[in-house]
Amino acid sequence: MSILKNAIDSIAVGLEDYSSPDQRRVISCTRNVFAGILLLFKYKLSILSSPGSDEALIKQRVLPVLDEGDRLEWKGKGTKTVDVQGIKERFESLNIDVDWKRIEKINNFRNDIEHYFSNLKHEAIRSLISDSFVIINDFIRKHLDEDPKALLGDGAWAVLIEVNEVYEREKDECTTALQSLSFFDGEILAAFDGYSCDECGSGLIMPSVREGEATDANYICKSCGKILPYEDMVRGAVSDRYSYEMYLSHTDGGDSPLADCPECSGIYLYAQSICATCGHTAEHECQRCGSTIRPEELSDESFCGYCSYVMSKDD
């Protein structure tokens, strides 16, 4: 019971911080809400741990022991509990689905809060509260089988609902405005829509024009007012959208989803065969041997790395 109570208290205190006019409490708001979410997750792991296992599933160290009947059991050791990565691994292994992309967004915001702070307006944490609402509501209903309103209390619940509604309305306006523009590819629109301002963390980004070419617009953060021209916006948004795939291609080998555009050195979407910056489509098939040109070998010469090498020797 105590983990659940701590989780609920932490979320409630975070929402009180949010409702306070004192700007300095923005930091404790983000910390408390995030800590509350992690405690909800740990509560789930604690109720799934077998009785007498010392809550094995929430402990960082779990060791095998033999019981009186010489049967193998796993017991939690020490006081250290699992971190975010540990919870993620255990949930995946137990088929407990959680929107980890959204958690990562909340966690990044929390980590960057000191950096954001000078630009932070109260509205900026609306996106964090709104994301937290989605996670909390979903998790309590689906995985704890409880009514979130009853669990959190009417006051906290009302704050969550209201913040979420206001944020969703503003987010919808931004999305509609972005959708009115023409993009080189739908992936770029999706990247813009999913982008959070690197100054303040807000997800409310508005284009300066409607119905035109996306490349002609500037992009304005509605929370802190930062303005980005298309070239800067596209680089930030597309690399954010593909950060996980880029990471995988570095660690597991495999092709990078992004390349340098041979035409403008902008950001090139390899699978979509188009430069997100300038709209250029490079030749993906080697004109000498017919093999596929790999992302890092794209050039304006239309040959694979091997053929370019052989031909440079023939010269």
Shortest distance, position 168 Cβ to Zn ion, whole Å: 18
DSSP 22: -
Say if CB 159 and CB 190 are below 8 A apart.
no
Other C-beta atoms within 10 Å of 3: how many? 19
Supply the minimum distance, in Å, between the C-beta of residue 100 and Zn ion: 24
Residue 275 phi, psi (nearest 5) = -80, 125
**Which is nearer to Zn ion, 112 or 138 (by Cβ)?**
112
Give the shortest CB-264-to-Zn ion separation in angstroms.
3
Decide whether 60 or 287 has the Cβ nearer to Zn ion: 287
Cα–Cα distance list, 254 to 118, 250, 251, 295 (Å)? 40, 8, 9, 11
Footprint on this chain of Zn ion (rule: CB under 5 A): 197, 199-200, 202, 221, 223-224, 226, 261, 263-264, 266, 275, 277-278, 280, 286, 288-289, 304, 307
Query: What ranges make up the beta strands (E) of the chain?
Result: 59-66, 72-81, 205-207, 218-221, 227-229, 258-260, 267-269, 274-275
Minimum CB separation from Zn ion for residue 277, in Å?
A: 5
Q: How many CB atoms lie within 10 A of CB 314?
A: 5
Q: Which is nearer to Zn ion, 42 or 171 (CB)?
A: 171
- Closest to Zn ion by CB, 135 vs 228, is 228
Which residue lies nearer to Zn ion by CB, 88 or 280? 280
Residue 166 has, within 13 A of its CA and on its CB side, a CA count of: 12
Shorter beta-carbon distance to Zn ion: residue 263 or 301: 263
Shortest gap between Cβ of 117 and Zn ion (angstroms)? 12
Q: Rounded to 5 degrees, what are φ and ψ at 218?
A: -100, 160
SS3 for 71-139 is CEEEEEEEEEECCHHHHHHHHHHCCCCCCHHHHHHHHHHHHHHHHHHHHCCCCHHHHHHHHHHHHHHHH
Kindly tell me which of 45 and 298 has the beta carbon lying closer to Zn ion: 298
In the complex, what is the shortest distance from the CB of residue 197 to Zn ion, in angstroms, rounded to a whole number? 3
What's the min distance (Å) between Cβ of 98 and Zn ion? 27
